[in-house]
Structure 1
Amino acid sequence: MNRNIMAAATLATAAMGMAASPTLAAQQNESGEAELAKLLEGREAGTPVSCIPSTQIRQTHVIDKTALVYRVGNTLYVNRPSQADALDGDDILVTRQHTGQLCRPDSVELRDRSTFFYDGFVVLQDFVPYRKVKTGN
């Protein structure tokens, strides 16, 4: 195959990949939103807070490309950090705290689970508490 044809084929393949990227990103975001909605079923949002007590966090759930969900008691706190598209459930979260709380705008470093190499970071925003809806009698 001559070089011009090879270069054109390479460029066409790259262009198709770029054209598909927004669609793939949209699908991943929709998938993350659906996962978050399922996790929050039967709960209602409360007033956002800027900090949560890190010593009381019992579980952290990473929703790919969408949010971090922290369980404190029976309350789920949803944080939609900046650069959320970097979130990957296979990453390890490394949080550097300056107090005994997780606060806006603390940063969370993302590390690859198998190599522990740096994989990006996110900056925390407000935490929205979701509590179970009390049903009548």
Structure 2
Amino acid sequence: MMRKIIFTLPLALMLAAPAAYSGTAEVKISEKDQARFDNLVEGRTAGEPVSCISRADQERLTVIGDKYLVYQRSSNPKTIYVNEPYGGCRNAEHYTLVTRKSTSRLCRGEIARVKDLQSDIVINSCSFSDFVPYTKMSD
């Protein structure tokens, strides 16, 4: 009897997990943060999503609420890349987003940790979705 319970519990958790972490859950964002995002992409055109971006080319990360990670490029400041992590990235705006440096690129599915560097405690983690380029056509 005990074996069935031990086996059944992990199976039940695995079956429930796709609904909870499918990336389809809506991430709530304040009107103020949505306005910040809209202002940042104003005058830019969204391009086809890409699965990876170069890590070396990213000059600055702007975190807007729990919903948007915006990477600004140094080699082409007219283009920014927007990522909406699956299920959001809670507290990334207030702490530091840490990624592994095992490759030269940031890619969809990669896990980033939200870390309090003062206490060296991981607060949260999030998983990148596709990166959407937004390009400014004129200055």
- What TM-score, normalized by structure 2, do the two folds share? 0.71
2:15 equivalent in structure 1:
none
One-letter code aligned to 1:103: C
Residue 115 of structure 1 deviates from its aligned partner by 2.6
Give the helix-richer structure, 1 or 2: 1
Q: Distance in 2 between matches of 1:87 and 1:34?
A: 19
Could you list the runs of 5+ residues in structure 2 that have no partner in the other structure? 1-26
Pair member with larger Rg: 1
Matched, 1:56 2:60: no
Residue 40 of structure 1 deviates from its aligned partner by 0.9
Matched, 1:88 2:89: no
1:20-53, CA deviations, whole angstroms, 9 ceiling, x for partnerless residues?
xxxxx85x43332221111111111011000000
2:66 equivalent in structure 1:
65
2:35 equivalent in structure 1:
34
Structure 1 residues 113 and 33: alpha-carbon distance in aligned structure 2, compared to 1, 3 A threshold? farther
Matched, 1:47 2:51: no
Matched, 1:132 2:100: no
One-letter code aligned to 1:57: Q
Identity of aligned residues (%): 35
Residue 85 of structure 1 deviates from its aligned partner by 4.9
**1:14-29 alignment, distance < 5 Å:** 26=28, 28-29=29-30
- What TM-score, normalized by structure 1, do the two folds share? 0.72
1:76-131, CA deviations, whole angstroms, 9 ceiling, x for partnerless residues?
10000013151431210110144210000111100125433211011000000001
One-letter code aligned to 2:112: V
Q: Give 3-state SS (helix, strand or coil) of 1:89's partner.
A: coil
Structure 1 residues 87 and 48: alpha-carbon distance in aligned structure 2, compared to 1, 3 A threshold? farther
Q: Distance in 2 between matches of 1:50 and 1:69?
A: 15
The 8 Å contact of residues 89 and 125 in structure 2, kept in 1 or not, is answered as no
Q: Distance in 2 between matches of 1:69 and 1:113?
A: 21
Q: Distance in 2 between matches of 1:43 and 1:81?
A: 21
The root-mean-square deviation of aligned C-alpha atoms, in Å, is: 1.9
The 8 Å contact of residues 63 and 87 in structure 1, kept in 2 or not, is answered as no
